[in-house]
Copies of this chain bind each other. A is one copy, B any other.
């Protein structure tokens, strides 16, 4: 069940920019923002990630949510290196236990990724007179990245108001992270209640050439545990031909 078109907001609704990675969390955050009446534009970044299949999933999710203003912007973070997600020479950790995941910062951390992504979303927000940036970060069932924590999001919101024409002119501008304190199971339950089609999303850090998830990386394991806790099969896994 897709959200009603009206749920994505009429032309007079406040505008918001959602960062859409193609993953489960950002799809849920986008559906949440639509349900709150925001008129959504979406931004995805082609940053040299090894799981580039997620960009096609982002396009599919944007289409399913009725978001027509969707930019996919190339920004070559692989030029800096320093992460398993942009450097094939650094292996993606596999088969880590739930105790290990989220403890310390793993090699899949991409330096300053969410700072760069929110900065680009902020640029887009200024040109759309948007009142909010929406990001699907979460610091409960997550990979331990520093730029997923609520204190990071709050600091960026403060920065955003100092950095922009909107802020100087006193117009509203906020950063919304609706999943910040939810467990993965709660995120999935929220998305299902909003009609998110998780078969369109991809969470794997190291997918097969056809895009099928590896099943062993931190992100696959967090996703699997979430669907198990909700008690339904992951529709992505049953979607393989």
Residue ranges of A at the interface with B (Cβ–Cβ < 8 Å): 71, 73-77, 79-82, 105, 109-116, 118-120, 122-127, 146-147, 149, 151-152, 155-156, 158-160, 162-165, 167-168
Contact = CB atoms under 8 A, between A and B. Distances in A.
A107 to B, nearest CB: 11
B74 A109 contact: no
Given A112-B164, A126-B112, A152 B147 contact: no
A111 B149 CA distance: 25
Contacts of A162: 146-147, 149, 151-152, 155
Given A127-B81, A152-B162, A111 B105 contact: no
A105 B163 contact: no
A165 B111 contact: yes
A72 to B, nearest CB: 9
Copies per complex of this chain: 2
12 contacts: A73-B79, A74-B76, A81-B127, A110-B123, A114-B163, A115-B123, A115-B163, A146-B165, A147-B162, A149-B162, A152-B162, A158-B158
A110 B81 CA distance: 27
A80 B123 CA distance: 7
B82 A126 contact: yes
B155 A167 contact: no
A230 to B, nearest CB: 31
Contact of A146 (B77, B155, B164): B164
B146 A152 contact: no
Given A118-B119, A146-B165, 10 more contacts: A74-B76, A105-B165, A105-B168, A112-B119, A112-B122, A115-B119, A116-B122, A146-B162, A155-B162, A158-B158
A146 B122 contact: no
